[in-house]
Amino acid sequence: EVHLLESGGGLVQPGGSLRLSCAASGFTFNNYAMTWVRRAPGKGLEWVSSVLGSALNTYYADSVKGRFTISRDNSKNTLYLQLNSLRGDDTAVYYCARGFPLAHFDNWGQGTLVTVSS
Amino acid sequence: QSVLTQPPSASAAPGQRVTISCSGSSSNVGSNTVNWYQQLPGAAPKLLIYTNSQRPSGVPDRFSGSKSGTSASLAISGLRSEDEADYYCAAWDDSLNGAVFGGGTKLTVL
């Protein structure tokens, strides 16, 4: 059974940084692209970033480009998202999801909450 | 403003049928397949329909999807109270080189 478990969320001041992790199990991790999607309070889902299985190719939404960095450690079956220069509108639940091509995300974690506030 | 346009809300009585629309453009829905996600209150999103009309294992056949041109739709028949959720369409956008979601539709079962 596929299992994705996010961690690393919390309260951070504007301009601060945070690193999210997603521990994966139940499938061959390096065979799959992985993705971060977020949902801000009162708003809908927003694709944030994706990385292919090889980790050589990364993709970002314009809203986070230059501030967030996605990476993965296939030896640890773990996906990461480094969040820098955080702003209030980055406040959201961040979900880790398996998949990417054609917006096909077939398994999701339970999410981790990031709150950006002074 | 979301790239894909959905009605913010929909409602119907138990047992009835409801349809949720998703409107895009030639760079997303018009040239790529559409997926639908269901997010129950307090839960993570779940893949409901993929490649326009395919159901993952375990999704009841009460849920169906279709696509025509730059629009797609999700239909739910035999509505149940447990279908109350937010529903999102999603597709790849060739111009943005990324995935795009609709704004979501909150379904209320009356």
pLDDT in tens, B40-72: 999 999 999 999 999 999 999 999 999 999 999
Instruction: Give chain B positions within 8 Å (CB) of A47.
Output: 90, 98-101
Parts of chain B with a pLDDT under 50: none
Question: Among A53, A59, A38, which residue's Cα sits nearest to residue A109?
Answer: A38
> Rounded to a whole number, what is the distance in Å from the CA of A47 to chain B's nearest CA?
6
Question: Among B59, B57, B31, B49, which residue's Cα sits nearest to residue B87?
Answer: B49
Shortest CA distance from A97: residue in chain B: B45
Per-residue pLDDT of chain A (118 residues; tens, 9 = 90+): 999 999 999 999 999 999 999 999 999 999 999 999 999 999 999 999 999 988 889 999 999 999 999 999 999 999 999 999 999 999 999 999 998 888 899 999 999 999 999 9
Q: What is the pLDDT of residue A54?
A: 86
Q: Does B95 touch chain A (CB under 8 A)?
A: no
> Rounded to a whole number, what is the distance in Å from the CA of B45 to chain A's nearest CA?
7
Neighbours of B17 (CB within 10 A): 12
Residue pair A45/B88 in contact (Cβ under 8 Å)? The answer is yes
Task: Give percent above pLDDT 70 in chain B.
Answer: 100
Q: What is the pLDDT of residue A56?
A: 86
Q: In angstroms, rounded to a whole number, what is the distance separating the alpha carbons of residues B8 and A53?
A: 35
Structure tokens belonging to residue B103: 């704004």
What is the tens place of the pLDDT at every residue in A53-75? 888 899 999 999 999 999 999 99
Q: What is the pLDDT of residue A55?
A: 84
What number of CA atoms fall less than 13 Å from residue B32's CA on the CB side? 24
